[in-house]
Amino acid sequence: MKISNYMNNTNSIMEKNTDKVQKGNSQTNEKHTVGQSVKLSISNEGLEYYRNRIQQSGQEKYDDVVQRKELLASKKISDIDYSYEIQKKAAQQNQNVDTGKSALNITDKANNYVKAYAELYDEIVKGYENGTREIYVADENGPRKLTKDEELSNLDAAYKKTVDDFVTMETTNQHARGIIGEEMNKISKITSRSALASDYIGEQKTKGKDEIPENLTEKMYGAITSFKEKYTMIHHNQNQLSQLLMSVKI
């Protein structure tokens, strides 16, 4: 019992001493740290250089803001979505062609995308030739004027994406129509629903098979390649150009 009490007392004393040592070391380190000071010296030339850099940076940003404000006011700055412009013109073509008697088939829709591209291409080229087209975009360096080649390159990229999306969508739709047709044929054999299925089958027969033309993607690409080759030779002749724009197709 005495030995146990002695050991407990000894451990308690050692723990207290350890705490005192750690606290003392901590206070010593704090005093040592506080006692050390860091002095930074910058020459007059360095201060002047730093001041000038700040002023120049601020002025550049201010000039960019002023320029952007002026361009916005003149409606010359624009982030053009060329894919949207193609879709919009194609939709207009669809409305002009669709008389309400029958829906447009896949070939009609494809040709309207080709015509939409051709019209936009003509607008861009003529705009730069006449000096009436100024399109600016804003990037990390501030507002910047696009060149004709940049716009035409952007239009080509948008057309490619539009064609790929269009062909993918029509392929999916064609597959879905095939599945629905098979199901309707099965349903037509059920007396209670035969009328509904028969109406659907009859409607599809009236429309005819709207299958995707073979190599549609390549044909739509090839159509604009052919258009651009002809456009280069005749675009200064308004009559021939009008005929080309009307006749362009896959």
pLDDT digits (tens, 9 = 90+) for 199-224: 655 565 555 567 889 999 999 999 99
pLDDT digits (tens, 9 = 90+) for 90-123: 998 877 655 555 678 999 999 999 999 999 999 9
Helix (DSSP H) and strand (DSSP E) numbers for the chain? 8, 2
CB 82 within 8 A of CB 154: yes
The reported pLDDT for the residue numbered 155 is: 97
The reported pLDDT for the residue numbered 104 is: 84
User: Tokens 């005929």 identify what position?
Assistant: 243
Cα separation of the two ends of the chain: 107
The reported pLDDT for the residue numbered 244 is: 92
Query: 108-135 burial by CB neighbour count: b if 16+ within 10 A, else e?
Result: bbbbbbbbbbbbbbbebbeebeeeebeb
pTM over 0.85: no
CB 162 within 8 A of CB 87: yes
User: What token pair was written down for 100?
Assistant: 């309400």
DSSP helix/strand/coil, 98: coil
DSSP helix/strand/coil, 103: coil
> DSSP string covering 114-139, please?
HHHHHHHHHHHHHHHHHT----EEEE
Question: Which residues does 213 contact at the CB level (< 8 Å), separation at least 6?
Answer: 106, 107, 110, 219, 250
d(CA 200, CA 186): 12
pLDDT per position in the chain (250 positions), as tens?
444 444 444 445 445 544 544 555 555 444 444 445 545 555 666 666 656 665 555 554 555 555 555 555 555 555 689 999 999 999 988 776 555 556 789 999 999 999 999 999 999 999 999 999 988 887 777 778 899 999 999 999 999 999 999 999 999 988 887 776 666 666 666 655 556 555 655 565 555 567 889 999 999 999 999 999 999 998 788 889 889 988 999 9
User: What token pair was written down for 201?
Assistant: 């089958």
Q: Which of 179, 183, 206, 213 is nearest to 196 (CA)?
A: 183
The reported pLDDT for the residue numbered 139 is: 72
d(CA 121, CA 127): 10
d(CA 44, CA 241): 69
Helix or strand holding residue 143 (H, E): strand 142-145
Where residue 39 falls (left for φ over 0; alpha for ψ -120 to 50; beta otherwise) is beta
CB 86 within 8 A of CB 113: yes
Half-sphere exposure of 149 (CA within 13 A, CB side): 0
The reported pLDDT for the residue numbered 99 is: 53
